[in-house]
Structure 1
Amino acid sequence: MDQKLNVYIWDMDETLILLKSLLNGAYAEASNDTKDAEHGIKLGKLWENHILKVCDKHFFYEQIENFNQPYLDVLSEYDDGLDLSSYNFDQDGFGMPMDCIINKRRLAYRHRIIGEKYSKGLHNILNRDLIKLWDSLYELTDSYTDKWLSSARACLSQCSEFEKNVNILVTSGPLIPSLAKCLLYRLDDTIPHENVYSSLEVGKLQCFSWIKERFSGRDARFCVVGDGWEECEGAESMKWPFVRIDIRPGSVCRFPGLTCEDLRHYFNVVYGTEEGNGLTSEATPEGNQVR
């Protein structure tokens, strides 16, 4: 029997990356005081600075911050394919009202450029000195978090090894900073820009519904991985398995620790094995429930 399509739907903050818990000291607190909270806060502020710089300098964020969309291609029908190589984004009159077709087209142009830059990677955006600073910050943060970042990235890579497996990001943050985070946290090689969704305006359940519709007609199985109540309730409504991430050192589902094999177990508990032999009798890892 052909391998089924496994769709992994990831939350971003406090799941694939750690930022908020560094800034507010929650990660240090959860580590039973084995981590220096001030050092974590300093790292978090440096990340914030990097993210905002990429957004403002390369992703038109000052122009489009107030026009958040759920995904980059949402306005693609308004993009007429104009050659943008000499287009002046600073003087095209983009702004309100957003129900005006010309402004939708102007925003679609910006989204197209952002998608192209994302696909080329961060090394084609930042100069050598900034790349060195970014590499250093990544390694310092990875060390401080006991390899959380690199372990999450490795898990994503394992999940996408097979041709029919897909990683999708559904974040409650705004779209453009989330795309910048994907680049800065080295997630872009396993999550293409068309697989990044912002639920900020529409909610996670709506994003999950779009994703289910996107893969309709294919033999797809879905699993949601995150730390919050909204993705948990959304997964429950869709009758999809939900894996709850917990930053506490003793928890089962965290990084490092969680693997693609663990996630496949959740798929099999809810959907049955890929051989179609019905539900497995194995229990889920302690501390998590199959929804």
Structure 2
Amino acid sequence: MAEKLNVYIWDMDETLILLKSLINGTYAEPFEGVKNVKDGIEIGKMWENQILQISDDHFFYEQIENCNQPYLDVLCHYDDGRDLSGYDFSGDGLGPPVDDANKRKLAYRFRIIAHKYRKGLHSLLDEEMLKFWDNLFNLTDNYTDQWLSAARTCLEQCENGVEELPACSNSIGSNDGRSVGSRHVNVLVTSGSLIPSLVKCLLFRLDNMFTCENVYSSWEVGKLQCFSWIKERFNGSNVQFCVIGDGWEECKAAEAMRWPFVKIDPQPNSSYHRFPGLTLADLGHYISVIYGNADPEKDL
């Protein structure tokens, strides 16, 4: 009998990372003075500046901010494979209207973005910036009681045994040649726009947990549409899905898909899950409730 494939669908903000609640102070306030609210706001703003700077400097965000797409491969069939080593991205006239020529220009940029994402931040930043980034991550992790590192540990547990997907399938509805022996795969569905979300993955050390093909933006299409694409992509009798997030939209979308939903709440003393704390075994129990596994631990 073929092994089950568990597809874990993660939200990003206030789930795997903390950013908005740092910037607006809502993360620190419930700690009643134990954590300095101003320190959290300062940390959040440093992250915000880094995300926007790297998005603009290395990922064409200033050019394509108004051309958000739900995933990088969406325009793959417009890419003719042209050698881009001497291509003039600043002078190719990308802009309205949204015709085939401009879709090809956008596809070229997405190819470069995917290439840079796979190479990682170490190929983009100098030693000084890498040290700043490393210190900022550790500062944030300490301020949030190891939220970032604990979330990453949980992702690593889920990622055990995963095989990489092809770079471009040209079809979101395919099974991508995945072997039935694969056990777990992590997919990210964020409500943020695509390019800054990819940069967040890099900055928050999540890029080796999520391939660029496994990052979706629900900014315009909504989470239910993204979940539907993911179901088509991984469709099979042995596939089980589990959604992990903090918001109502992913909760409602998971309910519509009849998938288990694991609620994350950054607030202390919450009755929901937090990091550190959430484990692969916890996710297995949620899956077993919906899919009726006789022994949820056995599938883990």
- Same fold per superposition (TM over 0.5): yes
Q: Does 1:211 align with 2:230?
A: yes
Aligned partners of 2:146 and 2:276 also within 8 Å: yes
Correspondence for 2:129:
130
Pair 279,119 (structure 1): closer, same or farther in 2 beyond 3 Å: closer
Aligned partners of 2:285 and 2:296 also within 8 Å: no
Question: Could you tell me how far 1:31 is from its partner in structure 2?
Answer: 2.3
Instruction: Give the secondary-structure state (helix, strand or coil) at the position aligned to 2:9.
Output: strand
Residue identity in the other structure for 1:80: D
Give the Cα–Cα distance (whole angstroms) in 2 for the partners of residues 162 and 81 of structure 1.
32
Moved over 4 A (4+): none
Give the Cα–Cα distance (whole angstroms) in 1 for the partners of residues 101 and 93 of structure 2.
10
Residue identity in the other structure for 1:253: H
Correspondence for 2:73:
73
Aligned partners of 1:10 and 1:168 also within 8 Å: yes
Question: Could you tell me how far 1:32 is from its partner in structure 2?
Answer: 3.1
Residue identity in the other structure for 1:106: K
Correspondence for 1:117:
116
Q: Identity over aligned residues, as a percent?
A: 64
Q: Does 1:91 align with 2:91?
A: yes
Instruction: Give the secondary-structure state (helix, strand or coil) at the position aligned to 1:27.
Output: coil
Cα deviation code 1:17-40 (max 9, x no counterpart): 000000011100122331100000
Give the Cα–Cα distance (whole angstroms) in 1 for the partners of residues 53 and 155 of structure 2.
26
Instruction: Give the secondary-structure state (helix, strand or coil) at the position aligned to 1:26.
Output: coil
Give the Cα–Cα distance (whole angstroms) in 1 for the partners of residues 10 and 194 of structure 2.
14
Q: Does 1:197 align with 2:227?
A: no
Single out whichever of 263-272 and 221-230 deviates more from structure 2: 263-272
Cα deviation code 1:134-180 (max 9, x no counterpart): 00000000000000000001100110012321100000000000000
Give the Cα–Cα distance (whole angstroms) in 1 for the partners of residues 113 and 94 of structure 2.
16
Residue identity in the other structure for 1:15: T
Question: Could you tell me how far 1:264 is from its partner in structure 2?
Answer: 1.2
Correspondence for 1:227:
246
How many residues are aligned here? 276
Give the Cα–Cα distance (whole angstroms) in 2 for the partners of residues 244 and 35 of structure 1.
24
Question: Could you tell me how far 1:125 is from its partner in structure 2?
Answer: 1.0
Correspondence for 1:150:
149
Q: Does 1:272 align with 2:292?
A: yes
Question: Could you tell me how far 1:268 is from its partner in structure 2?
Answer: 1.2
Instruction: Give the secondary-structure state (helix, strand or coil) at the position aligned to 2:186.
Output: strand
Instruction: Give the secondary-structure state (helix, strand or coil) at the position aligned to 1:170.
Output: strand
Cα deviation code 1:116-139 (max 9, x no counterpart): 000011111111110000000000
Question: Could you tell me how far 1:44 is from its partner in structure 2?
Answer: 0.3
Pair 279,125 (structure 1): closer, same or farther in 2 beyond 3 Å: closer
Residue identity in the other structure for 2:84: L
